[in-house]
Amino acid sequence: MTIKSRFLLSTTFILVLTCFFSWLSIRVLAEDIVVSWVERYAEKQARYDKVRTLLPLIQEINLSKEFAELESLKAWAKQPNNDSLKQQALLDTETFRMRFAEKSYFIALKGSERYYYSDEATSGNFYRYTLESTKESDAWFYQIMEQNLDLHLNVNPDVELGVIKLWTDVLIRQGDDVLGVVGTGLDLSDFLHQMVEKQDIYSAIVFTNYEGSIQLHQKEELINYSSITKNAKGKKLVFQLLDDEESKTRLKQSFERAKDNPNQTEMISVDKDGTRQLASIIYIPEIDWFQVNFIDINRFLPLSEFSGLFIVFFVSLVFALIIFYILLSLIVTRPLAELDLSIRQLGKNHYRAPKLRYFAGTEIKRLVSHYQTMSTSLLEYQHELEEKVKERTAELNRLSTLDPLTELYNRRGFEIHMKEYLQSWQKDHEPFGLINVDVNEFKLINDRLGHAAGDFVLQKIASHLLSVVDKKGVVARWGGDEFLILVRGKQEQDRISKRLHDDKLLHGIDFNGDQIFLQFSIGNAFIQENDTLELLLNRADKAMYEEKFHAKTSS
């Protein structure tokens, strides 16, 4: 696999891996950021909701408390059958009535068990009915007093008016004595309408008591009416809104912590409506309720908002890898490809210097420089080798044309020269002659003085022939004791021929003290029109034999 493909494969792998882990970490990070933002938001929102949503209610509570403290009311409650005290009290309460939001109030007296109600429509007829401890609809009155609850908020239908009201119930006390219950009512529908209006789209607010019974909720059907009188079984609890037991336990525990730290916000995460939500819990001591805000994290700040971040990261990663790839190509792979090409060219005996650009890496430049030095000396060495081979071949060729003993041309060498002479004769009419020189009775030398003497004599004859020819012709040992001489021109042929006949060599060669006498038989032939080498050789041979025969017969 090439570096490029390896690199592409590994970078793709790294890219996928990095993207996967960055997606994971961006998700975790985003979740952390979202949660921390939602926490801050929830804390602020819980305080804001408490103030804004419950402000009218708290106002009514405070007014009710103040109302319960009216001295004239207390005096009447103590003696409920005293008419003058009643008149006095009602004068005061009527004046006070205008301060209540709905300009209405109720008074339920323990002593007389009478229930009084006043609003805009009441015209002096305050008494409504007498409470009965056995009636379920009156149970609230007896429960509040029995439980000694200074304040109780109660959602209950007003049968007479045909509306559901959020009642503020406050005890009238005289020291430790409970004299009755007073308070006012707010129209629940109006109140919930206001609450929904002020509510944030991301959160759902629930008001509950300590046991989790829902007191206020956007959805009226979730509210527990007369919760003080209902047993726990029939109550709609905030915990039932949650998906699992773990979330329920967490919420219950947070109620305990919140109660210990009033007005402090508790944050927990719960599973509700199939999603993970944050719940902020705040205890409101003024009304002994818990305000629970459920915030859907994904709706508040969807994680998809972070996809842009991920895309930016992905694109920059791809971009960085492309740049890295280009740099790798410029620094490593391209110079390597150049080097590879040059090496392949060198294999074909052609040197091509690798072309390196400015960007090529220092190591590669060094490598290329070593390669260049190496290839130059390789080429030089190869050149030297070729020259040597040429020289050796020439030497071998030369040796193959020479006779090793005399170093004169052998048959092969001589034939080459004969062909040249014949060509120049045929082409330029340059005449030449052939002299055949044969030693008479050479065998006797070998026989008498040994083979070494024969060799010695043959060498002597060779050097003698060369000096006689004097570079004006070509001398060869044709075989055994037979020599041939090629010579240009008739005159030169005659001169050599005569020299050889007259030569001193014939008169004695000294070999280890022995005098060897030689006699040559010489045959001449001169080139003629339409001659062939064979004819020329034959004529010279024939002439030599004739002379030899003549010499033998005359001796």
**Residues of the shown chain interacting with ligand GTP in the complex, contacts defined by CB under 6 A:** 405, 438-443, 446, 451, 454-455, 458, 480-481
Look at residues 115, 152, 116 and name the one whose alpha carbon lies nearest to residue 135: 115
Q: 541 near 436, Cβ under 8 Å?
A: yes
- 193 vs 443 by CB, closer to ligand GTP: 443
Shortest distance (Å) from residue 476 CB to ligand GTP = 14
Using alpha carbons only, give the angle 216, 218, 224 rounded to the nearest 5 degrees.
35
The CA R_g of the chain, rounded to the nearest whole Å, is 68
Q: For residue 247, which amino acid is it?
A: S
Q: For residue 82, which amino acid is it?
A: N
SS3 127: strand
Q: 297 near 278, Cβ under 8 Å?
A: yes
The C-alpha atoms of residue 311 and residue 191 are separated, in whole angstroms, by 47
- 109 vs 439 by CB, closer to ligand GTP: 439
- 96 vs 442 by CB, closer to ligand GTP: 442
Burial of 256 (0-12, 13-18, 19+ CB in 10 A): exposed
SS3 106: strand
Shortest distance (Å) from residue 545 CB to ligand GTP = 9
Burial of 244 (0-12, 13-18, 19+ CB in 10 A): exposed
Shortest distance (Å) from residue 477 CB to ligand GTP = 9
Residue written as token pair 């110079």: 335
Within 10 angstroms of residue 320's Cβ, the number of other Cβ atoms is: 11
Shortest distance (Å) from residue 465 CB to ligand GTP = 15
The C-alpha atoms of residue 101 and residue 186 are separated, in whole angstroms, by 7
Q: How far is CA 424 from the centre of its chain?
A: 82
Shortest distance (Å) from residue 516 CB to ligand GTP = 12
Q: For residue 420, which amino acid is it?
A: E
Residue written as token pair 């300009």: 103
- 285 vs 480 by CB, closer to ligand GTP: 480
- State the DSSP code for 402: B
Shortest distance (Å) from residue 543 CB to ligand GTP = 15
Shortest distance (Å) from residue 342 CB to ligand GTP = 57
- 228 vs 476 by CB, closer to ligand GTP: 476
- 29 vs 444 by CB, closer to ligand GTP: 444
- 458 vs 487 by CB, closer to ligand GTP: 458
Q: How far is CA 311 from the centre of its chain?
A: 15
- 158 vs 441 by CB, closer to ligand GTP: 441
- 169 vs 547 by CB, closer to ligand GTP: 547
- DSSP string across 250-299: HHHHHHHHHHHSTTPEEEEEEEETTEEEEEEEEEETTTTEEEEEEEEHHH
- 422 vs 461 by CB, closer to ligand GTP: 461
Shortest distance (Å) from residue 446 CB to ligand GTP = 5
Shortest distance (Å) from residue 374 CB to ligand GTP = 52
Shortest distance (Å) from residue 540 CB to ligand GTP = 15
Packing angle between helix 411-428 and helix 533-554, nearest 10 degrees? Answer: 120
- State the DSSP code for 356: -
Residue written as token pair 């650009």: 357
The C-alpha atoms of residue 102 and residue 187 are separated, in whole angstroms, by 8
- 192 vs 439 by CB, closer to ligand GTP: 439
Shortest distance (Å) from residue 479 CB to ligand GTP = 8
The C-alpha atoms of residue 147 and residue 230 are separated, in whole angstroms, by 14
Residue showing the smallest CB distance to ligand GTP in the complex = 454
Q: 20 near 268, Cβ under 8 Å?
A: no
The C-alpha atoms of residue 424 and residue 413 are separated, in whole angstroms, by 17
Shortest distance (Å) from residue 403 CB to ligand GTP = 9
Joined tokens for residue 188: 């629940």
- 80 vs 523 by CB, closer to ligand GTP: 523
Shortest distance (Å) from residue 551 CB to ligand GTP = 8
Packing angle between helix 71-78 and helix 83-97, nearest 10 degrees? Answer: 140
Shortest distance (Å) from residue 448 CB to ligand GTP = 11
- 72 vs 459 by CB, closer to ligand GTP: 459
Length of the chain: 555
- 141 vs 409 by CB, closer to ligand GTP: 409
Within 10 angstroms of residue 479's Cβ, the number of other Cβ atoms is: 12
Q: Name the phi and psi angles at 71, rounded to 5.
A: -60, -40
